[in-house]
Amino acid sequence: MLGIGIIQGLVETARNFFGSYTSKQRLTTVQFPDERLIQPEAARVFPFLVYDTDDWEKGLRCVACKICEVECPPQCISITKSADKKPDYSGIYSGKPQFYPEKFDIDVSVCMSCQICVEVCPFEAIKMDNAFELSTDDRFGGLMWDKQRLAMPNSHYQAIHPTDAAESDAALAEKKAKAEAKPAAAAAAAPAKPAPEKAGAATER
Amino acid sequence: MSPETANLEEIVAQVPPARGVVEPLPPVNAEGEQLLEISMGPHHPSTHGVFRMNVVLEGEQVVRLKPVFGYLHRNHEKIAENAAYLAAIPYTDRLDYLCSMTNNWGYALAVEKLAGIGVPERAEYIRVIVAELTRLQNHASLIGFLMQDMGMSGTPLMYAFREREKILDLFESLSGARMMCNYMRFGGVRVDTSAEWLRQVRELNGEFPRFLDEFESLLAGNEILMGRAQGVGVLSPELAVSSGASGPMLRASGVNYDVRKVDGYGVYDRFSFRVPLGDHGDVYDRYMMRVLEMRESVKILEQAVRDIPAGPIMDPKARLRGLRPKAGEAYGRIESPKGELGFYLISDGTGNPYRYRVRPPSLINLTVLEDMCLGRGVADVVVILGSVDIVLGEVDR
Ligand code: SF4
Ligand code: SF4
């Protein structure tokens, strides 16, 4: 009979409609912004610059090597390297003074959240943030983020991406231990210093 | 659907010679009467983006149809030619933005061929898993869109999107992004899957047939669907082959050609799955093709999740930055949900490709649109276009 198929379909629709009162699986709408989904750990939106210690300017890990500027696909990073060097506040360059970015701007209206800057940075200095409610009514200045706006403490990174942060901290600690072991090995006397506490925090993935 | 239909060689032998360049005709009929020309699009809801068709009508019937592309042109190929090999991966996400994983794979495959990079076993399995998940969500949403084009309001689309959401959640927890995954790298994949993630895939895969059954009882036997789809937009196997159509559209016309079987790229030769084929090449067959392919994808996923070995996910020789393949050329192709997606690269030994070319399945499948629409009403044009499965990001690049 003509129409059987349609009725059959409507039965399925009705089952879903009434089912949505009982089955959580059928009721998928989340009432944003009152309800929010938990973002997965891997979520990425825009990059930020990591700093250690509690001074954002002195503790920036970035050494203005410009690798990310070159590799960024839409070329939205713009860096000016400093003329002088700043002391190693973050403690990851074995005390050697480093260059620092005099200017580090990211045009977030151009950034495509691809994470390539994070992958290519050899110094664990740039990471992805997961904050997404970032609209602004200032379309020029408000979308060009300078290094102050971009700077975030390492604790923030540990909070939003615990697994990755543990890996990154472990890698830095290992690097540091190696750097410290080198003069020690040359002297062939003092035993290598034990890796700092953080290394133990690395978790299996 | 009969499993055994004519194979490719037999059909190629029957392909008629090319028609050559056809001059545009004035919009008048044989008696010299003025015909009605309408411009559908570029902002027509049925065009799935910005796409325009100049349709010439005689009464209700389509006598001519000229597709107009290019509204979404972003210079993708030239951008990639001016960027490092790595920098093109996030751009490939934006080609067919429903299937970023398979786009990544196609490009990674071409570069791996060009530079002679191997891929570890585990990475190959992960690629198969994410590609088949992509196929599931693409086909599910395509059917939803197609039903909406037929005027069945939004119910099938909502059901399809409910399932798609679960797959996108998996992509997000793996790669950090729902649609612009940017997940594959030359020589492997970017991050490893956890055991928990694989468990979620297995769970989703176990539930998926239930959704397909629900879809089927919602739609199969539906008189509106059959009336609007059966016998509409017939594409003959000869025309399908000679126009270069690929993917579900080619197979709906009964041509047994699936790059997963033909090339066996990745580890596809290890899985047992069948290639569904159509009999009539009409819109209904193209719809059925998607349903059946989803069932096959579920089978592949089951095997891939079961057999995935432990091991590294990146080739130790692969480097992220400063890739400089020696001069040469390579063509990598995969079976994306929409058809054969190919990337052609020429290297001149520098850090960026000398030539970068995408073979987009949507664009090539669209070239037979006029042949399918001739003699049908305007409302059928919408349905036929919907059954081709286009994404304008890929058509225009
Ligand atoms: S963020 Fe990293 S890659 Fe970019 S300039 Fe600073 S140190 Fe170099
Ligand atoms: S996330 Fe991508 S686009 Fe954004 S700054 Fe980093 S490399 Fe550039």
Output the six-digit token pair for B320. 């992220």
- pLDDT above 70 (res B19): no
- CA-nearest residue, atom 7 of ligand 1: A62
E strand residue ranges, B36-78: 36-40, 52-58, 61-68
Whole-angstrom distance, CA of residue B94 vs CA of residue B103: 9
Q: Is A197 part of a structural domain of the chain?
A: no
* pLDDT (0 to 100) of residue B1: 39
Angle, helices B121-149 vs B155-175, to 10°: value is 160
Whole-angstrom distance, CA of residue B74 vs CA of residue B70: 9
Mean pLDDT (whole number) for A13-32 = 79
* Residue B142 CB contacts under 8 Å (≥ 6 apart), including other chains: B290, B337, B389
Whole-angstrom distance, CA of residue A21 vs CA of residue A112: 39
Q: What is the pTM of this model?
A: 0.83
Q: Is A4 part of a structural domain of the chain?
A: no
- CA-nearest residue, atom 2 of ligand 1: A121
Output the six-digit token pair for B258. 């699936």
pLDDT digit string, tens, across residues B43-99: 877 777 788 888 888 888 888 888 888 888 888 888 888 888 888 888 988 888 888
Output the six-digit token pair for A187. 């002297």
* Residue B151 CB contacts under 8 Å (≥ 6 apart), including other chains: B224
Is B38's Cβ below 8 Å from some Cβ in A? no
Preferred mutation among B155, B181, B287, B352 to probe A, highest tally of A CBs within 10 A: B155
- Percentage of residues of chain A with pLDDT beyond 70: 85
pLDDT digit string, tens, across residues A91-112: 677 677 778 888 888 888 888 8
- Name which residue leads in pLDDT, B29 or B361: B361
**Which of A46, A77, A110, A150 for mutating ligand 2's site (highest number of atoms within 8 Å of CB)?**
A77
The domain of A163 spans 47-129+138-182
Whole-angstrom distance, CA of residue B216 vs CA of residue B204: 18
- pLDDT above 70 (res B24): no
Report the 10 Å Cβ neighbour count for B38. 11
Tally of CA atoms within 13 A in the half-sphere of B122 that contains its CB: 15
- Percentage of residues of chain B with pLDDT beyond 70: 93
Output the six-digit token pair for B113. 């061929």
CA dihedral angle for residue A158, residue A159, residue A160, residue A161, rounded to 10 degrees: 30
* pLDDT (0 to 100) of residue B134: 92
Does A120 contact B218 at a Cβ distance shorter than 8 Å? no
For residues B143 and B149, the answer to whether their CB atoms sit within 8 Å is no
* pLDDT (0 to 100) of residue B4: 44
Is A33's Cβ below 8 Å from some Cβ in B? no
**Which of A46, A48, A49, A66 for mutating ligand 1's site (highest number of atoms within 8 Å of CB)?**
A66
| DSSP assigned state of B17 | P
Return the H-helix or E-strand segment holding A10. helix A4-22
Report the 10 Å Cβ neighbour count for B196. 9
Pairing between β-strand A77-81 and β-strand A101-107 as defined by DSSP bridges: antiparallel
Output the six-digit token pair for B122. 């585990």
Overall number of domains in chain A: 1
Is B155's Cβ below 8 Å from some Cβ in A? yes
Q: Is A100 part of a structural domain of the chain?
A: yes
Does A3 contact B223 at a Cβ distance shorter than 8 Å? yes
CB < 8 Å to B165, chain A: 28
Q: Which numbered ligand comes closest to the C-alpha of A112?
A: 2
Whole-angstrom distance, CA of residue A122 vs CA of residue A68: 9
Interface of B with A in 310-329 (CB under 8 A): 320-321
Q: In this predicted complex, what is the ipTM? A: 0.77
Whole-angstrom distance, CA of residue B144 vs CA of residue B147: 5
CB < 8 Å to B176, chain A: 40, 42-44, 115, 128
Q: How confident is the model at residue A191 (pLDDT cuts 50, 70, 90)?
A: very low
* pLDDT (0 to 100) of residue B22: 58
Ligand 1 binding pocket (C-beta < 6 A) is A 62-68, 79, 121, 123, 125-126
Distance A121 CA to ligand 2 centre (A): 11
- pLDDT above 50 (res A204): no
Q: How confident is the model at residue A90 (pLDDT cuts 50, 70, 90)?
A: low
Pairing between β-strand A47-51 and β-strand A151-153 as defined by DSSP bridges: parallel
CA dihedral angle for residue A79, residue A85, residue A86, residue A87, rounded to 10 degrees: 140
Does B177 contact A2 at a Cβ distance shorter than 8 Å? no
Q: Is A115 part of a structural domain of the chain?
A: yes
Q: Is A149 part of a structural domain of the chain?
A: yes
Q: Is A195 part of a structural domain of the chain?
A: no
* pLDDT (0 to 100) of residue B17: 65
Residue A149, burial from CB neighbour count under 10 angstroms (0-12, 13-18, 19+) = middle
CB < 8 Å to B89, chain A: 114
Q: Is A110 part of a structural domain of the chain?
A: yes
Considering only CB atoms, A120 lies closest to which of B192, B218, B320, namely B320
Residue B178 CA: distances (Å) to CA of B93, B95, B312, B346: 11, 15, 24, 31
Does A43 contact B222 at a Cβ distance shorter than 8 Å? no
Mean pLDDT (whole number) for B13-31 = 66
pLDDT digit string, tens, across residues B289-323: 888 899 889 989 888 888 888 888 888 777 778 78
Q: What is the DSSP string of B331-353?
A: EEEEEETTEEEEEEEEE-SSSS-
- pLDDT above 70 (res B130): yes
Output the six-digit token pair for B49. 């983006």
CB < 8 Å to B169, chain A: 40
Does B176 contact A115 at a Cβ distance shorter than 8 Å? yes
Residue A103 belongs to a domain with what CATH number? 3.30.70.3270
Ranges of H-type helices in chain B: 8-14, 76-81, 88-93, 100-115, 121-149, 155-175, 195-219, 223-229, 237-243, 248-252, 259-262, 283-307, 361-366, 369-373, 378-388, 392-396
pLDDT digit string, tens, across residues B212-268: 888 887 777 777 778 788 888 888 888 888 888 888 888 888 888 888 888 878 888
The whole-angstrom distance between A98's CA and the closest CA on chain B is 23
Q: Is A32 part of a structural domain of the chain?
A: no
The whole-angstrom distance between B374's CA and the closest CA on chain A is 29
